[in-house]
């Protein structure tokens, strides 16, 4: 006669059946030799690979070594603008632009052939000023030496724009031209600090440069 099995025995059999059908977990199995061989072969192949030349991509992006860091992008354009004040009320922007280019060329203020002043970006005849854009930071700095030049009997004021930001500083990549102002019949208004430099203030607005001299 068959003896009935206890409930505990039946439960043990069920647990054993379930565990026998379970999938074998990955961490229970050893590493696959074929996979290891494939990874080692790929590693050796990468080590033996000659790197791309330094770099066609870098050479393109660094064009002549003039690529600016991300924080300087757009800053050099701001550093290539100049304010021209006290212009005649009927000034033609192109005519004044040509005058500035001729003056820069005559005084030796150009780093290369051609005209340094590219365009007049803004002109306000009511307030008698205009902004010009130059082709390089160095020539923009150099054109400041033309401050005080005579244009149609008007003494031009050549400055940095009021909103010019010196930070971050845009370092010149070439020497800033020193203008020979004697070729233009000018005396520089930019005087270096020395024992011979004097400041004279409180002058009447009616006085002109010749009267002050």
HEC string of 118-180?
EEEEEEECCCCEEEEEECCHHHHHHHHHHCCCEECCEECEEECCCCCCCCCCCCCCCCCCCCC
- pLDDT at res. 71: 42
Contact 130, 120 (CB under 8 A): yes
The confidence score (pLDDT) of residue 169 equals 59
Average pLDDT of the residues in 134-156: 95
Higher-pLDDT residue of 144 and 52 is 144
* Band (164; pLDDT cuts 50, 70, 90): confident
Through-space distance between the first and last CA atoms of the chain, rounded to whole angstroms: 139
Q: Indicate if the pLDDT at residue 181 is higher than 70.
A: yes
Residue bearing the bigger pLDDT, 29 or 141: 141
pLDDT tens profile 94-134: 999 999 999 999 999 999 999 999 998 899 999 999 999 99
CATH of domain 74-192: 3.30.70.330
pTM: predicted TM-score of the whole model, two decimal places: 0.56
Q: Between 119 and 17, where is the model more confident?
A: 119
- Mean of the per-residue pLDDT values for the chain? 75
Give CA 182 to chain center in angstroms: 35
Q: What is the pLDDT of residues 43-97, one digit of tens each?
A: 666 555 544 544 545 545 444 444 445 444 455 788 899 999 999 999 999 999 9
| Domain assignments of the chain as residue spans, ordered by start | 74-192
% of the chain exceeding 90 in pLDDT: 40
């Amino acid at each position: 006669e068959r003896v009935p099995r206890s409930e505990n025995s039946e439960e043990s059999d069920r647990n054993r059946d379930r565990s026998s059908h379970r999938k074998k977990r990955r961490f229970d199995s050893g590493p696959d030799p074929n996979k290891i061989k494939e990874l080692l072969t790929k590693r050796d192949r990468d080590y033996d690979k000659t790197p791309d030349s330094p770099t066609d991509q870098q050479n393109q992006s660094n064009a002549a070594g003039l690529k600016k860091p991300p924080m300087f992008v757009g800053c050099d354009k701001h550093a290539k603008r100049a304010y021209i004040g006290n212009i005649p009320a009927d000034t033609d922007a192109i005519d004044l632009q040509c005058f500035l280019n001729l003056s820069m060329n005559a005084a030796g203020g150009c780093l290369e052939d051609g005209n340094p002043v590219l365009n007049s970006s803004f002109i306000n005849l009511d307030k008698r000023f205009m902004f010009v854009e130059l082709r390089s930071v160095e020539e923009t700095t150099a054109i400041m030496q033309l401050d005080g030049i005579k244009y149609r009997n008007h003494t031009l004021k050549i400055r940095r724009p009021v909103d010019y930001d010196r930070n971050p500083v845009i370092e010149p990549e070439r020497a800033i031209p020193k203008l020979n102002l004697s070729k233009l019949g000018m005396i520089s208004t930019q005087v270096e600090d020395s024992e011979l430099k004097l400041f004279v203030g409180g002058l009447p607005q009616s006085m002109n440069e010749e009267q002050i001299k």
